[in-house]
Amino acid sequence: MITKQVYVNIKTGLHARPASYFVDVASKFVSDINISFSGVTVNAKSIIGVLSLSVGEGDQVTLVVDGPDEEEALDALEKILSGEDGLLDNQVG
């Protein structure tokens, strides 16, 4: 199991398209993945759960990944949240 705190560097936060993209990527992994914000933890593979967190730009979230592909999953999701993957640069929530 890996736990890591990550700052969200997405202009719209985890809303609409960014949340959908995050959930789509999380769902490709076998590992159990949870995301926590402001004392609430949800399944990172649930669009309703992720949207319910109302995570904004600059917020810090905690990712907990447990399973056979946990390192790859954490790396991919951290890149999305930190804006390093570049895929969300031109998208508006």
> Which residues are catalytically annotated?
15
The amino acid sitting at 49 is G
Buried b vs exposed e over 40-70: b needs ≥16 C-beta within 10 Å? eebbbbebebbbebebeeebebebbbeeeeb
Buried b vs exposed e over 73-83: b needs ≥16 C-beta within 10 Å? bbebbbebbeb
